[in-house]
Amino acid sequence: MAAQAAAVRPGCFSSADIEAEQAVHFQAQLMVVSDICRDTTYGEFTQRNRDAIMGYQKQMIDHFRRAGEHRADITFENYMTRLANQASLASGVRNVSETCQTTSGMIALANSIAGSADFRRYIATQAAANRAAYLSCQD
């Protein structure tokens, strides 16, 4: 499965790229869950973690640029849209109440992340746990 996941991604991923991708996945999922559950967590989370989020987004744009994308910023925006659409479709198989119950842990986690330093620490652990799913660059 790891080789299959890596094969569909453009180029290889540095350690910083892996962390950035984990962060934007978390952000997209939180955005969808907050919207479905009519929860304010996403807005509050993005305000508290603005610096880290902007850094991770810049890292992903740089990743796409290194992978040969001429309009890496547009590629990143399309990627974020695709992630949000996938999260929305995945949650669409359950009713709203069930979705909100099953994602309450994510909401609680997002609310417990006090700022950019906490978010970076959390994402670093996620990146380490999921590293095998990526075609890693030598960095």
What confidence score (pLDDT) does residue 65 get? 92
Find the domain containing 76 and state its range. Answer: 14-131
24 belongs to a structural domain: yes
Q: Is residue 91 part of a domain?
A: yes
Dihedral angle sign, alpha carbons of residues 69, 72, 74, 78: positive
Number of domains in the chain: 1
pTM: 0.86
**pLDDT band, residue 137 (cuts 50/70/90):** confident
Is 5 part of any domain? no
Give a yes or no: residue 2 inside a domain.
no
| Average pLDDT rounded to a whole number, residues 68-96 | 89
Residue 102 belongs to a domain: yes
Give the Å distances, CA to CA, from 121 to 2, 3, 15, 30. Answer: 24, 26, 14, 17
The answer to whether residue 67 sits within a structural domain is yes
